[in-house]
Structure formats: structure tokens, C-alpha cells
């Protein structure tokens, strides 16, 4: 679904869509992070079958002015296509958020973050750049390299990206990382869509009285 270049976002049944791509080397746990976030499950070695496939998650996204809104978060996976460098520019385009992902036990996957960041940025104009966060996955492993993680923190701070040490296997900080990206994307969405003082384009969602079938304060 294409991201609009005007003050509007794509919708399904009146629900805005925010597109998120996970980028990183093969085997860093991108599919596992998506499955942990959406289903709260972990299956070791599972890979999305087809590039371009996605998972939709209905989330309450925080906006400015203490408002929030139900949105459809579309999570795009590389389906292992990054292994042979066969991702096309279509995968990178029209994304609202990007999660740069690496494996704490494989230093070479951190060294490639800059490549994935630039591959994404090559497809955007300055005024339309997506929101980025960095995820250092597989923190459950004892052999993780703390020195490389410190370098990752410095890289993230220099880029002004939030950085999270996660474990899709043990469900550590996965929800927190996704929620941070939702908050960043929500602010951008509001800037593009809430230009009128009376804020006609949407109403805030009252989490106490909402009829939305959600089990979590953010997502189901």
C-alpha cells in the first residue's frame, strides 16, 4: 500500500495504515520479532515464505495532545531475500517506519547496519524519510559482545535513533521497541493529517470506553 505524499494516509475501512519494514542480515531474527510482537509466540528458524508478505496488527497509536487512534500497522518481512541481495527498491519504498536489526552474537551483522540504512534512504526524499529505530536482537545469548553493543549505542545516538536490546525468544523488550516506533510514527502521522485547529480528520480513542477488541493497551 503506497504511502501518500500529501496530507493523508492510506486507509482500510476508515482505519489508517502505517507501513513498517524490518531490515538486517539473514538470520538476525526479523521474522521472530514480528511473530513475537503480533502473536506472542516464538518458533526458532521460522522465515516468512514470500517477500512482500506482511502481517497486520491493529494498534492504538499515541498522538500529540494526549490523543490516540486505532491504526493498522503493516509489518513487512524480507522473507530471506536479503541472503542473496535480491531485494528490490519496491520493498524499501512507502514505509513509515524501519527497524534496523542485528544479532548481538554476530558482529558482522552490526557492521552491515549502515548498508541497510542507506539502502532504505536511497528511496526517499528528505521530507519523506521514515522513522528509524535500532534493535540488537538475541540478548538471551551469553556470548553477546558488549563492546559491539556499546558501539551500536554510539551509532544510534549519533543518528538520533532509539536503540533496544531485545530477545524474540524470551520476549525481552520486543513490545517496548515496537511501541517506541509506533509513537514516532504517530507524531508524523498527526503532523500530516491534523492541520486544522478543530482536528476534524479524526477523533481520539478513549481507551477506557473504546469498543475496540484489544487485549493490550497498544496492540492485539
Q: Is the pLDDT of residue 147 over 70?
A: yes
- Please compute the mean of the pLDDT values over residues 203-209 and round it to a whole number: 44
Count of H-run helices and E-run strands, the chain: 6, 7
Cα–Cα separations (whole angstroms), residue 107 to 16, 138, 193: 37, 12, 41
pLDDT of residue 209: 44
Burial class (CB in 10 A: 0-12, 13-18, 19+), 192: middle
Please tell me which residue, 201 or 190, carries the higher pLDDT value: 190
∠ CA 213-137-219 to the nearest 5 degrees? 10
- Please compute the mean of the pLDDT values over residues 123-140 and round it to a whole number: 93
Please list the residues that pair with 61 across neighbouring strands.
69
* CA gyration radius, the chain: 17
- Please compute the mean of the pLDDT values over residues 141-162 and round it to a whole number: 93
Domains of the chain by residue range: 13-192
Tell me the three-class secondary structure of 55-74, residue by residue: EEEEEEEECCCCCEEEEEEE
**CB of 105 within 8 A of CB of 145?**
yes
Number of C-beta neighbours around residue 125 at 10 A: 8
Three-state DSSP state, 122 = coil
Cα torsion 96, 78, 139, 44: sign: positive
The string of pLDDT tens digits covering residues 70-108 is 999 999 998 777 765 668 888 899 999 999 999 999 999
The string of pLDDT tens digits covering residues 160-182 is 999 999 999 999 999 999 999 99
Class of domain 13-192: alpha beta
DSSP state string for 34-50 = HHHHHHS---TT---SS
Amino acid at each position: 500500500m503506497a504511502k501518500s505524499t500529501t496530507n493523508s494516509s492510506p486507509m482500510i475501512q476508515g482505519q489508517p495504515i502505517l507501513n513498517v519494514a524490518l531490515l538486517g542480515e539473514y538470520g538476525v531474527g526479523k521474522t521472530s520479532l514480528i511473530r513475537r510482537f503480533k502473536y506472542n509466540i516464538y518458533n526458532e528458524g521460522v522465515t516468512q515464505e514470500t517477500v512482500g508478505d506482511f502481517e497486520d496488527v491493529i494498534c492504538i497509536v499515541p498522538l500529540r495532545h494526549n490523543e490516540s487512534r486505532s491504526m493498522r500497522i503493516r509489518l513487512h518481512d524480507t522473507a530471506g531475500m536479503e541472503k542473496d541481495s535480491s531485494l528490490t527498491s519496491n520493498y524499501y519504498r512507502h514505509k513509515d517506519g524501519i527497524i534496523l536489526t542485528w544479532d548481538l552474537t554476530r558482529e558482522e551483522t552490526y557492521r552491515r547496519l549502515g548498508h541497510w540504512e542507506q539502502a532504505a534512504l536511497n528511496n526517499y526524499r528528505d521530507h519523506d524519510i521514515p522513522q528509524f529505530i535500532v534493535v540488537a536482537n538475541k540478548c538471551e545469548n551469553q556470548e553477546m559482545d558488549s563492546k559491539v553493543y556499546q558501539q551500536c549505542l554510539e551509532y544510534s545516538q549519533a543518528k538520533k535513533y532509539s536503540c533496544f536490546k531485545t530477545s524474540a525468544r524470551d520476549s525481552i523488550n520486543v513490545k517496548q521497541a515496537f511501541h517506541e516506533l509506533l509513537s514516532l510514527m504517530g507524531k508524523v502521522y498527526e503532523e500530516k493529517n491534523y492541520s486544522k485547529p478543530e482536528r476534524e480528520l479524526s477523533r481520539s480513542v478513549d481507551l477506557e470506553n473504546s469498543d475496540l477488541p484489544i487485549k493490550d493497551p497498544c496492540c492485539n
